[in-house]
């Protein structure tokens, strides 16, 4: 008897990726076979994003692609875009079920309800996000041997003037400490070497608990898990760094010396209009102290170009500030007007051509800084978590590839038995955005 097949498509952040993996586990436990999204499936689940208008469009395209892959299949649309735009989604032909950002773990029961409906419109299960909403437990049951993302927080209350996430995700909700510790223990005992803590606003962990809970408390507790080899943090806002957290990061033997701290702009006027709640100098002082605590820190960031009212002088201030910070990786994205945000009403929107110009300038700068940072590891040793084997035609050999503690992609000749293991590599060369070395 053939298994019922399910296919998944994920847009957006690491939180969405974690939730999709958790959903796959739920489907597997009920006997579903997971197939590629391009294949014919009985059920298609599209986990959407609404950070930009482009992500909205990609979500709609995925819905239509699912219907084309199997006109008789059931299509479930979940996530941030579904939370905010369910009225638009229900008008797209072929959608059977819409779930917002809460209630995803009930998807199988809702699919059965959707199958029984005879209405033209889909079953809509979009819950109101208010102070009564709680953290939705969706633990992972199966992961690979290398790395696993663990969601420990949901929601955001920053309300940056350009962002819809607080409206799509609701208030801060934190996972119970004992539950996340159990998941880390189970996954690492089964062989997972690196745990990446993630959340919509990771640094806000514990603020809703009414207890003495914080991200620093989580890290200190996970330090005591013997089977955990590496701990990585997905993204932290500049305003999230308390003295307690700084001390824990400096003292930790397991936290990777790689931090992603969104900048968005290096210009104070623009930062204020973005409602980012810090100045360029405050960001500078934070980075300076972090580099004092963690020499060779890999510092990655996000920066936005084309925010309404961003004049050439403001943009140049950002360029100079980014050069000064010497980031190891730069993610550049163009401002996208979002209905319902404060910035939607701002005047002086830049032309697409000007946004493209600024994006290219910063992207080129980012590539230059990334190469300069990578080259600082030449001649040094690095602990590399090998993830996969690559066959390189131009070099005529097979190599293993993985990530160092400083978020550097490293390649070395080694046997496949080291996939999923941590090996020590002497770095000898930098080429094509990657470090090369020999296994020690």
Q: Report H helices in 90-242.
A: 107-116, 165-169, 177-189, 215-222
- Whether 54 has a pLDDT exceeding 60, the answer reads yes
- Cβ neighbors of 250 (< 8 A, separation 6 or more) are 293, 294
Tell which of 61, 94, 125 closes a domain.
125
- Same-domain check for residues 322 and 213: yes
- Same-domain check for residues 350 and 406: no
Tell which of 351, 373, 395 closes a domain.
373
- Same-domain check for residues 229 and 95: no
Per-residue confidence (pLDDT) for residue 287, from 0 to 100: 99
Domains in the chain, number: 3
Tell me the two tokens of residue 350. 């830049």
pLDDT digits (tens, 9 = 90+) for 172-194: 999 999 999 999 999 999 999 99
- Cβ neighbors of 274 (< 8 A, separation 6 or more) are 160, 161, 162, 264, 265, 304, 307, 343
Q: Is residue 221 part of a domain?
A: yes
Residue 130: how many other CB atoms lie within 10 Å: 8
Tell me the two tokens of residue 67. 């219907």
- Same-domain check for residues 282 and 390: no
- Whether 132 has a pLDDT exceeding 80, the answer reads no
Q: Which residue has the tokens 């204020």?
A: 272
Tell me the two tokens of residue 162. 């350009």
> Taking the model in full, what pTM does it have?
0.93
Q: Is residue 47 part of a domain?
A: yes
Q: Which residues pair with 43 in a beta bridge?
A: 6, 74
Domain that holds residue 412: 381-439
Q: Is residue 336 part of a domain?
A: yes
pLDDT digits (tens, 9 = 90+) for 82-113: 999 999 999 999 999 999 999 999 999 999 99
pLDDT digits (tens, 9 = 90+) for 420-429: 999 999 999 9
Tell me the two tokens of residue 115. 């199958």
- Same-domain check for residues 170 and 78: no
- Whether 120 has a pLDDT exceeding 90, the answer reads no
Q: Is residue 132 part of a domain?
A: no
pLDDT digits (tens, 9 = 90+) for 206-225: 999 988 999 999 999 999 99
- Same-domain check for residues 433 and 369: no
Angle at 171 between CA 166 and CA 173, to 5 degrees: 130
- Same-domain check for residues 245 and 346: yes
Q: Is residue 429 part of a domain?
A: yes
Q: Which residues pair with 333 in a beta bridge?
A: 304
Sign of the Cα pseudo-torsion (16, 19, 24, 27, in order)? negative
- Same-domain check for residues 211 and 86: no
Query: Sorting pLDDT into bands at 50, 70 and 90, what band is 140?
Result: confident
Q: Which residues pair with 173 in a beta bridge?
A: 154
Tell me the two tokens of residue 271. 């930062």
- Whether 1 has a pLDDT exceeding 60, the answer reads no
Q: Is residue 427 part of a domain?
A: yes
pLDDT digits (tens, 9 = 90+) for 236-292: 999 999 999 999 999 999 999 999 999 999 999 999 999 999 999 999 999 999 999
Decide which of 143 and 195 is more confident: 195
Cα–Cα distance between 41 and 163 in angstroms, integer? 34
Q: Calculate helix-pair angle for 215-222, 177-189, nearest 10 degrees.
A: 40
Phi, psi (deg, nearest 5) at residue 9: -135, 125
Give CA 360 to chain center in angstroms.
Answer: 23
Q: Is residue 140 part of a domain?
A: no
Q: Which residues pair with 397 in a beta bridge?
A: 392
- Same-domain check for residues 116 and 206: no
| Residues 198 and 149: beta-carbon distance below 8 Å | yes
- Same-domain check for residues 357 and 400: no
Tell which of 373, 396, 430 closes a domain.
373
Q: Is residue 180 part of a domain?
A: yes
- Same-domain check for residues 102 and 195: no
């Amino acid at each position: 008897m053939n298994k019922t097949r399910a296919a998944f498509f994920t847009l957006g952040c690491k939180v969405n990726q974690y939730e999709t993996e958790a959903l796959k586990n739920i489907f597997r436990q009920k006997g579903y076979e997971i197939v590629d999204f391009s294949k014919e499936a009985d059920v298609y689940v599209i986990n959407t994003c609404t950070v930009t208008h482009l992500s909205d469009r990609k979500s709609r395209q995925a819905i239509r692609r699912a219907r084309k892959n199997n006109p008789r299949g059931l299509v479930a649309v979940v996530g941030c875009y579904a939370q905010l735009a369910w009225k638009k989604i229900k008008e797209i032909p072929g959608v059977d079920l819409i779930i917002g950002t809460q209630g995803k773990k009930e998807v199988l029961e809702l699919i059965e309800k959707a199958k029984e409906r005879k209405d033209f419109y889909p079953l809509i299960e979009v819950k109101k996000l208010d102070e009564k909403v709680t953290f939705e437990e969706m633990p992972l049951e199966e992961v690979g041997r290398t790395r696993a993302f663990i969601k420990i927080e949901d929601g955001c209350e920053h309300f940056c003037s350009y962002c819809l996430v607080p409206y799509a995700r609701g208030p801060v909700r934190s996972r119970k400490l004992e539950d996340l510790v159990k998941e880390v223990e189970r996954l690492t005992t089964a062989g997972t070497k690196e745990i990446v803590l993630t959340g919509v606003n990771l640094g806000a962990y514990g603020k809703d608990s009414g207890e003495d809970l914080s991200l620093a408390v989580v890290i200190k507790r996970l330090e005591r898990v013997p089977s955990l080899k590496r701990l990585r943090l997905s993204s932290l806002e500049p305003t999230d760094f308390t003295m307690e957290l700084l001390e824990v990061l400096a003292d930790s033997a397991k936290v990777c010396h790689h931090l992603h701290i969104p900048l968005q702009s290096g210009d104070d006027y623009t930062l204020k209009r973005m409602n980012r709640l810090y100045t360029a100098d405050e960001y500078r002082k934070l980075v300076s102290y972090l580099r004092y605590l963690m020499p060779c820190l890999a510092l990655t960031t996000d920066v936005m170009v084309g925010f309404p009212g961003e004049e050439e002088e403001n943009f140049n201030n950002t360029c100079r500030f980014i050069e000064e910070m010497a980031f190891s990786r730069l993610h550049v994205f163009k401002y996208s007007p979002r209905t319902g945000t404060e910035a939607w009403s701002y005047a002086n929107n830049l032309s697409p051509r000007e946004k493209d110009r600024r994006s290219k300038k910063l992207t080129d700068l980012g590539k230059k800084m990334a190469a300069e940072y990578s080259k600082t590891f030449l001649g040094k040793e690095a602990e590399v978590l090998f993830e996969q084997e690559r066959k390189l035609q131009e070099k005529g050999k097979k190599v293993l590839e993985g990530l160092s503690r400083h978020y550097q992609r490293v390649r070395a000749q080694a046997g496949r038995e080291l996939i999923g293991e941590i090996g020590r590599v002497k770095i000898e060369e930098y080429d094509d955005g990657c470090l090369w070395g020999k296994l020690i």
